[in-house]
Structure 1
Amino acid sequence: MTPKDEAVSAQLVLDTAARLIEQDGVETFTMRRLAQELGVAVTSIYWHVGGKDKLFDSLVDQLLSEMANLPVEGDTAVERIASLARSQRKALIERQHILRIAHERDRTPTLFLPIQQMLAMQLAELGITGGEAALVLRAVQVHVISSALLQFSAVRGPSMTRRTRRYGPTTGPIKRSSRHCNPRPTTTPFSNTDSVRCWPLTAHPGYRSWANSACSSSRRRSVWSRGSVGSSTRICSTPRWR
């Protein structure tokens, strides 16, 4: 092991791997590319973090820790809810490729649980509990995730493929059927109308798993719906989940 190999730590390996994955995507990531970036032998990477699967597991664990400790500011419960939503949206955008890894490892429910618990605590301070709290919590969560989805599409711009420009970033083939929805977003989620146009639930690696657990299958198509006033975005307090 060279002196440079000895200077490399497991945390440095994880941070560099996360940067490469978010920069170039999961598909292009290799252990050899990581070793070149660090200027060490590939064996040094295996020494510190194990193989590629172990590395990905460690990245997901690190992401879980980040999501469980999102910065929250504000003097009131409403301000803290808004701050938490902004922090979650920022994390989703910055870690979108690692979110995909988490989704492939069935870690998405665990990923969002700490955030949901923090939101529930703030809602309880406002006197919102039980079924009403569940509706508000789901509305906030899906609004944050859908907002991140739109940002994914915006930042990719002309480099996006034709399918991605139309349907949004995906983790696999999009299954379309008239029973679900026309995959075009409108400006307002959670309207209480029956005229529905929406993103497919496969549009985000974490969103599909979350939505599948949050919504009954017969009402999943109501996640995105038409009913906005002008171009503003709002959250309806009574989304049609069932």
Structure 2
Amino acid sequence: MPSGPRTVLTRRAVLDAAAEVVRRDGPDALTMRGLAAELGTAVTSIYWHVGGREALLDALVERTMAGLGEIRPSGRTPEQRVLGVARALRRRLRDHPHLVALVHERGLTERMFLPAQRALVGEAHAAGLRGARAAEFVRAVQFQVVGHVLVERHRERAPAQRPGEEELWGAEDAGGDPALARALARPVDTERLFTTAVRALVRALLAPHVDP
């Protein structure tokens, strides 16, 4: 048995350890016995601080959603502020994929996105958008972020491609544009691509509306 003073176990320490297990191995790997071993304590101590496994999962979900709720716009222009919200949302979705999946499995996805949506509503109103146009603005930005993250995750988890992009693109395949072929053969700069896509989307959505 290790000697020396024991660190006092707290609810926060239990949740931190549980979140790390889920982040590392996924929700199915989270067991009360495994968590107790991770913390070097008895299972009964885990129950004392957080209740059973379902209560623990609920607490993790609440904490994940609270973290997403900390998104705040910053910047001098509507474009900068919306891009900041989009980047923050993307970062949180990428940093906690298993926890986000857990939120989704428990039917709380829409609630999870509500804080980011509210921030975007504020920017839509500040830009003079109202009603259906404001709703379209909010959802378009949200879908752009989520779709980008899903594509990123798919590419990262996909098996090695044979042939790869660097082998697929020649000048003849790019309409006689060798610079385009070289660019498409290089690895994707997902950060730059994300910024370009969100900026273009925001500019288009904030442009003066002309009825057909």
- Structure 2 length as normaliser, TM-score? 0.71
What residue number does 1:120 align with?
121
What residue number does 2:63 align with?
62
Q: Which is further off, 24-33 or 137-146?
A: 24-33
Distance, in Å, in 2 between the alignment partners of 1:123 and 1:41 is 51
Amino acid at match of 1:84: V
What residue number does 1:100 align with?
101
- Provide, for residues 77-104 of structure 1, a one-character-per-residue CA deviation record: whole Å limited to 9, x for no partner: 2211100100001111112211222122
What residue number does 1:201 align with?
none
Displacement of 1:155 after TM fit? 3.0
Displacement of 1:154 after TM fit? 3.0
1:9-20 correspondence runs (5 A):
9-20=10-21
Is 1:80 the counterpart of 2:90? The answer is no
Distance, in Å, in 1 between the alignment partners of 2:120 and 2:69 is 12
1:1-242 correspondence runs (5 A):
4=6, 7-158=8-159, 233=197, 235=201, 237=205
Q: Which runs of 5+ in 2 are unaligned?
A: 161-195, 206-212
Amino acid at match of 1:149: L
Root-mean-square deviation (Å): 2.3
Higher helix fraction (1 or 2): 2
What residue number does 1:165 align with?
none
Displacement of 1:71 after TM fit? 4.5
Q: Is the 8 A contact 1:17 1:34 kept in 2?
A: yes
Distance, in Å, in 1 between the alignment partners of 2:34 and 2:73 is 36
Q: Which is further off, 128-137 or 65-74?
A: 65-74
Q: Which runs of 5+ in 1 are unaligned?
A: 160-231, 238-242
Distance, in Å, in 2 between the alignment partners of 1:157 and 1:104 is 23
Amino acid at match of 1:113: L
Displacement of 1:158 after TM fit? 3.5
SS of 1:65's equivalent? helix
Q: Give percent identity, aligned residues only.
A: 37
What residue number does 1:167 align with?
none
Q: Which is further off, 118-127 or 149-158?
A: 149-158
- Provide, for residues 183-220 of structure 1, a one-character-per-residue CA deviation record: whole Å limited to 9, x for no partner: xxxxxxxxxxxxxxxxxxxxxxxxxxxxxxxxxxxxxx
Displacement of 1:119 after TM fit? 0.3
- Provide, for residues 22-81 of structure 1, a one-character-per-residue CA deviation record: whole Å limited to 9, x for no partner: 111112221111111111111111111111100000011111111111253312222111
Displacement of 1:106 after TM fit? 1.5
CA change 1:8–1:158 in 2 (3 A) is farther
Displacement of 1:157 after TM fit? 4.2
- Runs in 1 of length 4+ with deviation above 4 angstroms? none
SS of 2:117's equivalent? helix
SS of 2:121's equivalent? helix
Structure with the greater alpha carbon radius of gyration = 2
Amino acid at match of 2:52: G
